[in-house]
Structure 1
Amino acid sequence: MIKIQTLNNIAKNGINEFSDKKYSIQTNINDPDGILLRSYSMHKMVIPASVKAIARAGSGVNNIPIDECTSRGIVVFNTPGANANAVKELVLTSLLLSSRRIIEGVEWTRSLFGEKNISNIVESGKKEFAGVEIAGKKLGIIGLGAIGALVANDALALDMEVYGYDPYISVDTAWRLSRNVQRIDNLEQIFSTCDYITIHVPLTKDTNKFVNEKLLSLMKKGSRLFNFSRGELVDEFALEHALNNGTVGVYVTDFPNENVIGLKNVIPIPHLGASTIESEENCARMAAKQLKNYLETGNIKNSVNFPNVELPFTGKKRITISHKNIPNMVGQITGLLAKYAVNIADMLNRSKGSYAYTMIDLDETINEQVEQLLTEIDGVISVRVI
């Protein structure tokens, strides 16, 4: 029985990916083989030695101790693109919310409860909430991944001029992106050119507070800035200054905190980007499939800490080895198997940064002695026989 621990409520269609006969899925479970979660923070959690993989039903993995997992050979999955449509729709909503003063107008109208002649009051007071149209305006998109590409294509349909910045754009995304999106080579041009700027990049050491005083000072007076990726991407002290002097006309964030919630012209959305029934189901199903596939076949897809590795599973004995990405690792592994007359039917090796993953299909079984000797090779992190 393969044991799966859930640290959050997971959509039923995700749980249904696991067979009742083969899997045990519980919140409280001893020695789980895999962990399935959403936003639960694992940083203070003692991760059992039995854990082979963790799947996050969502794109961000800052709630998971990635470095610890990698050093232990635990594969961490996320679900890029599964919530893309939900986030895209909220970005499009924000284009209108930030332009037409809809929230302020609705709040003012509600305050009229109990007054007489409300229709007349509304007609005389509505001029205070005049806004601007988005058609013909320039939208800058930083990050043209699954979400950014969807935003770009739909914004074009709304008659906006769309500019995109992404030095790491994938071939798949490039195929999906409209040819009418204008590619920009530097952030300075995005910030100095566009009326609206939306951020869709992951939070890393390099992107932390990358939207800083210098970039914000380049913005056109009254420009709108949207953050549906991570709050830490924006230097909040520089943002406060830009809001106060009117450089940033409106800041829409899906990550409100004590620093920004009291600032003027901020629309603080309570982290609703992926909060749709469809998004939660898509993320749960995708995370469950990736976790199940890895536990049953060793194949890796959409891991944040190990390379994508996929070899058709024929039912033969398979060895998967997580190891350091250093010279002669594959030679030592195959040499050991040859020494003990273990014949290799197929093999695949891929690396990602300082770590690598080797998958080997065998023509026969492997005894525990050889398995143990593989774990003793200097640089090997974990060995699994499927």
Structure 2
Amino acid sequence: MKILVTELMWEDGIEELRRLGYSVDYDMELSRKREELLNLVPKYDALIVRNETRVDPEFLDAAKKAKVIGRLGVGLDNINLEAAKERNIPVIPAKNANATSVAEYVMAAMLDASRPLSDADADVRRGNWDRRFFTGYELNKRTLGLIGLGEIANRTARRAKAFGMDIIGYDPFVAPFDHVLAETGVRPVDTLDELLSDSDFVSVHVPLTKATKYMINKDNFPLMKPHAYVINSARGGIIHEQDLVEAIQSKKIAGAYLDVLEKEPVEKDSSIAQIESIRLSPHIAGLTDESQSRTAMLIAQEVDRVLKGGESICAVV
């Protein structure tokens, strides 16, 4: 059987598929060559994608032989799940494989905001020695607000707790005795507004849906503390980017760490790229050697399970 990989996949996952006896074709740029992609997919029994490949009805109609689609990550906004379900094609994301890496990204962002060592290094190399300007603050006793209380938030909370932070969370789908509340000491709040107003750092951990589109915007930025930072490692479009720029320019909040943007890659003349206190990274929060190895191996093994007639424990449709 043949498997097509359309985006970046760590080599150990590809080697695992070949060890299991599959013929694997791999082109990490194929997601950007739509016409070529649509001409290729009819030949394959399984397709493995990341976040750039648009798995829509046109794609699924072309994938006439496909028995399964593997997703190298957890976000599913590029995949039409209803269309996959109608065609009886299971979709398998890499459940929790990158959760630790994303949690560590959030910690890195908060540490950078409180102690900007790279800025201090650059200033010292310019011949300065401004100890007062680079006096930071402790994360201890600061409040971290988590929007969404899934596995990434759970692991973030455990790490933040070790730094002595107070942690609050907003998630209307989490019950009082779910593990993230019962075992990590996260204090639930009833509304998003309450979380925004009480937090020194706000970290986003929800999928992009109709309900979460622009959920942080000009109407609720004024509720936040003027020294607060917002961190988005989830999906672009959850934070209204122009409203964020204006909130920082008007000193309603201090800044932001954005690993994801509504349009990726960022445009050079984008206003969001002009604000120094908005720190940008190229969608790498979950991208570490360890997490990508786990992701690749998980998807390889779960795709193999389905192709051999079994069911994947990670399947969403």
Place the TM-score, normalised by the shorter chain, in its bin.
Answer: 0.7 to 0.9
State the SS of the aligned residue for 1:248.
Answer: coil
Distance 2:184 2:286 in 1: 28
Distance 1:70 1:54 in 2: 11
Q: Which amino acid is the alignment partner of residue 234 of structure 1?
A: I
Q: Which structure carries more relative contact order (alpha carbon 8 Å, separation 6+)?
A: 2
**Which of 160, 166, 174 does residue 171 from structure 2 map onto?**
166
Pair 21,167 (structure 1): closer, same or farther in 2 beyond 3 Å: closer
**Which of 286, 306, 309 does residue 294 from structure 1 map onto?**
306
**Which of 45, 70, 81 does residue 66 from structure 1 map onto?**
81
Partner of 1:41: 53
Shift of 1:139: 0.8
Partner of 2:95: 80
Distance 1:25 1:172 in 2: 44
Q: How does 1:1-386 map to 2 (within 5 A)?
A: 2-18=1-17, 20=19, 22-27=21-26, 31-43=43-55, 46=59, 47-110=62-125, 112=126, 118=127, 121-122=128-129, 125-169=130-174, 174=179, 178-256=183-261, 257=266, 258-304=270-316, 306=317
Distance 2:274 2:69 in 1: 37
Pair 71,30 (structure 1): closer, same or farther in 2 beyond 3 Å: closer
State the SS of the aligned residue for 1:77.
Answer: strand
Pair 175,165 (structure 1): closer, same or farther in 2 beyond 3 Å: closer
Preserved contact between residue 168 and residue 189 of structure 2 (Cα < 8 Å) = yes
Distance 1:158 1:277 in 2: 25
Pair 285,160 (structure 1): closer, same or farther in 2 beyond 3 Å: same
Preserved contact between residue 9 and residue 296 of structure 2 (Cα < 8 Å) = yes
Which is greater in Rg?
1
Shift of 1:194: 1.1
Preserved contact between residue 181 and residue 187 of structure 2 (Cα < 8 Å) = no
Pair 176,138 (structure 1): closer, same or farther in 2 beyond 3 Å: closer
Larger deviation: 77-86 or 163-172? 163-172
Preserved contact between residue 99 and residue 131 of structure 1 (Cα < 8 Å) = yes
Distance 2:24 2:132 in 1: 57
Pair 213,279 (structure 1): closer, same or farther in 2 beyond 3 Å: same
State the SS of the aligned residue for 2:237.
Answer: helix
TM-score (norm 1): 0.70
Note the alpha carbon deviations across 1:51-74, whole angstroms, 9 max, x for none: 121101111123334343233222
Distance 2:194 2:181 in 1: 24
Distance 1:64 1:170 in 2: 28
- Unpaired segments of 5 or more residues in structure 2? 27-39
Moved over 4 A (4+): 170-173
Pair 172,146 (structure 1): closer, same or farther in 2 beyond 3 Å: farther
Higher share of residues assigned strand: 1
Pair 263,9 (structure 1): closer, same or farther in 2 beyond 3 Å: closer
State the SS of the aligned residue for 2:121.
Answer: helix
Distance 2:208 2:48 in 1: 22
Distance 1:180 1:9 in 2: 37
**Sequence identity (%):** 27
Distance 2:174 2:281 in 1: 28
TM-score (norm 2): 0.84
